Amino acid sequence: MTSNVATIALLLVPLLLLVRTVYRLYFHPLSHIPGPRIAALTSFYRAFYDIVRDGQWVHHLEYLHSIYGIVVRVGPNELHFNHPAAYGDIYCSGSTFTKDPAMYKCFGSAESVFGQTDFQTAQKRRQALGPLFSRRAILKLESDIQKHVNKLVDHLAAYQLAGKSADLYLAFRAVTLDIITSYCFAKTFDAVSFPGFRHPVALTMDATLHLAWVFKHFLFLRKFVDRCPEWIGLTLMPGTKGYYDQANQLGSQIDEIMENPSILDKSEHETMYHYFITKSNEKAGLPDLNKEWLLHEGLNLRFAGSDTTGNACTIAAFYVLRDSRIKAMLVKELEDAWPEIDTPMRYDAFEKLPYLTAVIKEALRLSHGTVTPMPRVAGPDGAIVAGVPVPPGTIVAMGNTLMHHNAEIFPDPMRFLPERWLSAPANGENLDKYLVAFSKGARVCLGIKCVVFSICNFCRAFFSIPSFLCIYSWLSESYLLVSPHNALETVPSFRFLSPTVVIMMIY
Ligand code: HEM
- Domains of the chain: total: 1
Ligand 1 touching residue 497 (CB < 6 A): yes
In a domain, 412, yes or no: yes
What pLDDT is recorded for position 187? 81
pLDDT score for 478: 28
Question: Is the shortest distance between the CB of 309 and ligand 1 below 6 Å?
Answer: yes
In the chain, % helix, strand, coil (3-state, to 5) comes to 65, 5, 30
Asked whether the predicted pLDDT for residue 297 surpasses 80, the reply is yes
Over the stretch 416-436, which tens digit does the pLDDT of each residue have? 999 999 987 666 678 989 999
Q: Name beta bridge partners: 385.
A: 388
445 is in an annotated binding site: yes
**44 within some domain:** no
Q: Which atom of ligand 1 is nearest to the CA of 99?
A: 15
Q: How far apart are CA 33 and CA 386, in angstroms?
A: 13
Helices assigned H by DSSP within 131-199: 135-140, 142-162, 168-185
Q: State the pTM of this model.
A: 0.87
43 in a structural domain: no
- Residue 85 has a CB neighbour count (10 Å cut-off) of 13
Where residue 237 falls (left for φ over 0; alpha for ψ -120 to 50; beta otherwise) is beta
Range(s) of the domain holding residue 226: 77-476
Q: Which atom of ligand 1 is nearest to the CA of 133?
A: 29
Q: If pLDDT is split at 50, 70 and 90, which confidence band does 304 have? A: confident
Ligand 1 pocket residue status of 447, Cβ below 6 Å: yes
Q: Whose CA is nearest to atom 17 of ligand 1?
A: 445
443 lines ligand 1 (CB under 6 A): yes
Least Cα distance to 190 among 200, 177, 203 occurs for 177
In the reported structure, the alpha carbon of residue 297 is separated from the centroid of ligand 1 by a whole-number distance in angstroms of 12
What are the pLDDT digits (tens) for 340-375? 766 767 777 777 888 888 988 899 999 998 889 999
- The CATH number covering residue 257 comes to 1.10.630.10
Candidates 306, 308, 374, 459: which one to mutate for ligand 1, based on the most atoms within 8 Å of Cβ? 308
Flag whether pLDDT at 67 surpasses 70: yes
Long-range contacts of 275-280 (CB under 8 A, 24+ apart): 275/128, 275/129, 275/131, 275/132, 276/128, 276/129, 279/128, 279/131
Residue 439 CA: nearest ligand 1 atom is: 10
Strand, helix or coil for residue 79: strand
d(CA 506, CA 240): 8
67 belongs to a structural domain: no
Residue 504 falls within a domain, yes or no? no
Q: Is the CB of 115 within 6 Å of ligand 1?
A: no
How much is the pLDDT for 193?
A: 94
In a domain, 383, yes or no: yes
State whether the Cα torsion 14-16-22-25 is positive or negative.
negative
Residue 56 has pLDDT above 50, yes or no: yes
User: What pLDDT sits at residue 461?
Assistant: 52
Nearest CA to ligand 1 atom 24: 305
The atom number, within ligand 1, closest to the CA of 455 reads 1
Q: How many Å lie between the centroid of ligand 1 and the Cα of residue 499?
A: 5
Q: Is residue 447 part of a domain?
A: yes
What pLDDT is recorded for position 484? 28
Atom 14 (ligand 1) nearest CA: 374
Q: Which residue has its alpha carbon closest to ligand 1 atom 42? A: 447
Query: 250 vs 14, 32, 245, 253, 448, CA distance in Å?
Result: 50, 50, 9, 5, 24
Q: ipTM of the predicted structure?
A: 0.98
Report pLDDT for 245. 73
Residue type, 49: Y
Q: What is the pLDDT of residues 187-212, one digit of tens each?
A: 888 999 999 998 887 777 766 677 77
Beta carbon of 113 within 6 Å of any ligand 1 atom: yes
What is the per-residue pLDDT across 470-507, written as a single tens digit (0 to 9) for each?
A: 333 333 322 223 222 233 222 222 222 222 222 111 11
Q: Which amino acid residue places its CA nearest to atom 20 of ligand 1?
A: 445
Q: Nearest 5 degrees, angle CA 372-CA 459-CA 138?
A: 75
Question: Of all atoms in ligand 1, which is nearest to the CA of residue 311?
Answer: 1
* Residue 38 covered by a domain: no
Section 271-285 average pLDDT: 71
What distance in angstroms lies between residue 466's CA and the mean position of ligand 1's atoms?
Answer: 33
Residue 68 has pLDDT above 60, yes or no: yes
**Mean pLDDT across the chain:** 80
